[in-house]
Amino acid sequence: MRTPIIFSEKCLNYGTWHIEGPQRVGLAHEFLLERGYNFTEPEPASENDLLRAHDGDYLWNLKKGLVEDPDTPAYDNVYEFARLSAGGALLAAKTSGFSLMRPPGHHAGVFGSALGVYTRGFCYLNNIAIAVKALGKATLILDIDGHHGNGTQEVFQGDPKVVYVSLHRHPHYPGTGFSSEGNCLNFPLPGDIGEKRYLETLDKALGMVAAERFAALAVSAGFDTYAGDLASLGLTDESYAEIGKRIARLSKPTFFVLEGGYMGEKVGRAIDHLLLGYEGTS
């Protein structure tokens, strides 16, 4: 069975001038449509869903349009866009799907900016954290975005039900994730390290985790590791297929939530390869 893609055109209606703009997701959507995927529309996450991962005062400020930093503008109605993206992650968790929504989430911590980092890195609500909290199961989170998910680490640091594994470029934004801390296993990698060393590191990381402990696998699926993208690790379409195969080998109910990836159609191609590898058809 093909992995359902969670998508709403509404997520394309803000931020046209920003690098985290509608084109990156819009072009990926068009590519995946042509490839014959099935699409489902999400509902916005409820405030109760959001409160499992975020502080109430932070949510109030976000709703009032008071959350802003140089990376992360206070767009009109950004709370509603962020709530719908979080709803995409919730639906992905329910349907073992892939949420192709924006804004991304993994830099957003309990109070917005996370682990002492000044900006929120294009993120408002931590979509994957909200979905993992709603599941309430022992969950392994694998973050393959090229940036460290400081927000996700902050939300789950010390949580006995969750292990967070991140491979990311370092030194690079946000500057966190240089070493592992408790249940958060961090694998910093030099820029453009290439597929071979990336996959060796991924195998090592997954080998350190007792997969049988977990009832679910949540993947923070960022594609800015693609050669030439914002946090390039020199990966190609085939690299994502290889990552997908490794995810499949864990044999867990799995869902995926889009994080970064800024090269439009290449994001679509990378998603397609990841899912082909995952579904065993590549």
Pick 105 or 222: Cβ nearer Zn ion: 222
The dihedrals phi and psi of 89, each to the nearest 5 degrees, come to -65, -40
Nearest residue (CB) to Zn ion, 220 versus 254: 220
Count of residues interacting with Zn ion (CB under 5 A): 6
CB of 25 to Zn ion, least distance (A): 14
- Give the shortest CB-118-to-Zn ion separation in angstroms: 16
Are 240 and 83 in contact by the 8 Å Cβ rule? The answer is no
Q: Considering the complex, what minimum distance in angstroms separates the CB of residue 88 from Zn ion?
A: 17
Which residue, 135 or 263, is less far from Zn ion as judged by CB? 263
Taking the least distance from each CB to Zn ion, the nearer of 135 and 205 is 205
- Under the binding rule (CB under 5 A), the answer on residue 229 touching Zn ion is no
The closest of 166, 29, 33 to 107, measured between CA atoms, is: 166
Query: From the list 222, 234, 244, 268, which residue makes contact with Zn ion (rule: CB under 5 A)?
Result: 222
Half-sphere exposure of 26 (CA within 13 A, CB side): 12
Q: Residue 167 or 247: which CB sits closer to Zn ion?
A: 167
CB of 220 to Zn ion, least distance (A): 9
Nearer Cβ to Zn ion (37/122): 122
CA 82 remoteness from chain centre: 14
Nearest distance from residue 49's CB to Zn ion, in Å?
Answer: 23
Place of tokens 């509608």: 22
Q: Does 44 bind Zn ion (CB under 5 A)?
A: no
- 153, 114 contact by CB (below 8 A): yes
What ranges make up the beta strands (E) of the chain?
Answer: 5-6, 39-40, 98-99, 139-143, 162-169, 184-189, 216-221, 254-258
The structure tokens listed for 33 are: 């449509």
Considering only residues 111 to 150 of the shown chain, the ones binding Zn ion according to CB under 5 A are 145-147
Report the half-sphere exposure of 185 (CA within 13 A, side-chain side). 17
Q: What order do you get walking across the sheet with 184-189 strand by strand?
A: 39-40, 5-6, 98-99, 254-258, 216-221, 139-143, 162-169, 184-189
Q: Which residue is nearest to Zn ion (CB)?
A: 260
Site for Zn ion in 139-198 (CB under 5 A): 145-147
Q: Which residue is it, tokens 């931590």?
A: 126
Reply yes or no on whether 107 is catalytic.
yes
Q: Is 224 in the site for Zn ion (CB under 5 A)?
A: yes
Please state the closest distance from residue 222 (CB atom) to Zn ion, in A: 5
Choosing from 29, 107, 148, 172, which is the catalytic residue?
A: 107
For the chain, the residue count is 282
**Binding track over 239-268 against Zn ion, x by CB under 5 A:** ---------------------x--------
Q: Which stretch binds Zn ion (CB under 5 A): 60-68, 87-95, 219-227, 269-277?
A: 219-227
Using CB atoms within 10 A of its CB, is residue 38 exposed (0-12), middle (13-18) or buried (19+)? exposed
Q: Which residues form the interface with Zn ion (CB under 5 A)?
A: 145-147, 222, 224, 260
- Known catalytic residues are 107
